[in-house]
Amino acid sequence: MRQDSYAAAGVSIDSAAIAKEQIKKLAKATFNSNVLAGPGFFGGMFEIPTGYSKPVLVSSCDGVGTKLRIASAMGKHDTVGIDIVNHSVNDILTCGATPLFFLDYIAMGKLDPVLVADIVKGLSTACQQVGCALIGGETAEMPGLYHGNDYDLAGFIVGIVEKDNILNGQSINPGDAILGLPSTGLHTNGYSLARRVLGESSSAMVIRYPPLDESVGEALLAPHRSYLGDLKPVLSEIKGLAHITGGGFTDNIPRTLPVGTSARIKKGSWDVLPIFELIQEMGNVADAEMYRVFNMGIGMVIFADQAKVPALLNAMPDARIVGEVVADTGKGRVIIE
């Protein structure tokens, strides 16, 4: 066989080398003194910071999902990296953890160094914003498995929390307040339904429907918000957090609530984003399904003692009181009324 047989089979080692050099440069911008080895070696190395008496590592893994189809239709790939980093940061934040380092997985049918660089720019930007080091990952070229411009993006995060400061929701009681922090849009969930209702072609993405003040594509591609900056200063004042991702209100809030409690959520206590109103109207989607699929404009739910609410609202001006913890009467763990 010729020396370029691997390239003829669809895999370019040269393209991979170019992409990896770009990744190294972008990742280096996220390094701090705890990074001992980053992309390029066989394993990333990170020294656990000092100052913890009982450090607990918290990890999470997730993907961007079919939001990537919107990015492809828009020809804009520099924000999906922000999505996966912020999604992951929010997940471990629900335990009270601060991010330490991040790894990514990018797979596509034909490796495009320019596309990879765009994706990693988003990863690097978001990691720098939250003080998280991008220390490694995998860039895979898999012809025959991914076709055309299809690609996938997943992320892996490790954070740290003092054992005595872990948030687990076990101190939540009936009568506690439920606050919500606004989302920027769909974040990274519900895109299969959104695409079915609104379409996913390039022509569908440029349409401007009322009540949107931007195109469909711009609304759908809005980056996932990180709540680390909002919540880190007040973590000691709250009892629990629920990141509203896949499963919406209905499935995520019970993950934090202790046995014997339910959440009563009051509609109208926050502004539902126009993109959700559009999806519901055009798709004729029932309320119950909307609140189980989407975040409906609330990306993070906060549980706190009623006495802490004024200080929390002062610290987080865009937070809203969205409900109250009640005793579980068997009518459901999340009651939306």
Summarize pLDDT for 186-236 with one digit per residue, the tens. Answer: 999 999 999 999 999 999 999 999 889 999 999 999 999 999 999 999 999
CA distance 193 to 290: 10
> 299-330: per-residue pLDDT in tens?
999 999 999 999 999 999 999 999 999 999 88
Place of tokens 């996966």: 84
177-336: CATH number = 3.90.650.10
Look at the alpha carbons of 218, 221, 224, 229 in this order and tell me if their dihedral is positive or negative.
negative
Does 16 score more than 70 pLDDT? no
Q: What pLDDT is recorded for position 155?
A: 96
- For 144-285, strand residue ranges (E) read 151-162, 177-182, 240-243, 261-265
Amino acid at 193: L
Does 11 score more than 70 pLDDT? no
Alpha-carbon radius of gyration of the chain:
21
CB atoms closer than 10 angstroms to residue 14: 11
Count of residues making up the chain: 337
Does 134 score more than 90 pLDDT? yes
H or E segment at 198?
A: helix 191-198
Considering the chain, what percentage of its residues have pLDDT values greater than 70? 94
pLDDT tier, 9 (very low <50, low <70, confident <90, very high otherwise) = low
CA distance 104 to 236: 31
pLDDT tier, 178 (very low <50, low <70, confident <90, very high otherwise) = very high
pLDDT tier, 13 (very low <50, low <70, confident <90, very high otherwise) = low
Does 31 score more than 90 pLDDT? no
pTM, rounded to two decimals: 0.92
Does 334 score more than 60 pLDDT? yes
The answer to whether 194 and 156 are in contact (CB under 8 A) is no
Q: What pLDDT is recorded for position 26?
A: 76
DSSP 3-state helix, strand, coil percentages of the chain (rounded to 5)? 35, 25, 40
Q: What pLDDT is recorded for position 305?
A: 97
Q: What pLDDT is recorded for position 154?
A: 96
240-243 sheet: strands from edge to edge: 240-243, 298-304, 177-182, 320-327, 261-265, 334-336
Q: What pLDDT is recorded for position 24?
A: 73
Q: Which residue did the predictor score with more confidence, 265 or 330?
A: 265
Report the SS3 class of residue 253: helix
Arch. (CATH architecture) of 5-165: 2-Layer Sandwich (3.30)
Q: What pLDDT is recorded for position 331?
A: 86
Considering the chain, what percentage of its residues have pLDDT values greater than 90? 78
Q: What pLDDT is recorded for position 3?
A: 57
Omega cis (within 30) before 99: no
Segments of the chain assigned to CATH 3.30.1330.10: 5-165
Segments of the chain assigned to CATH 3.90.650.10: 177-336
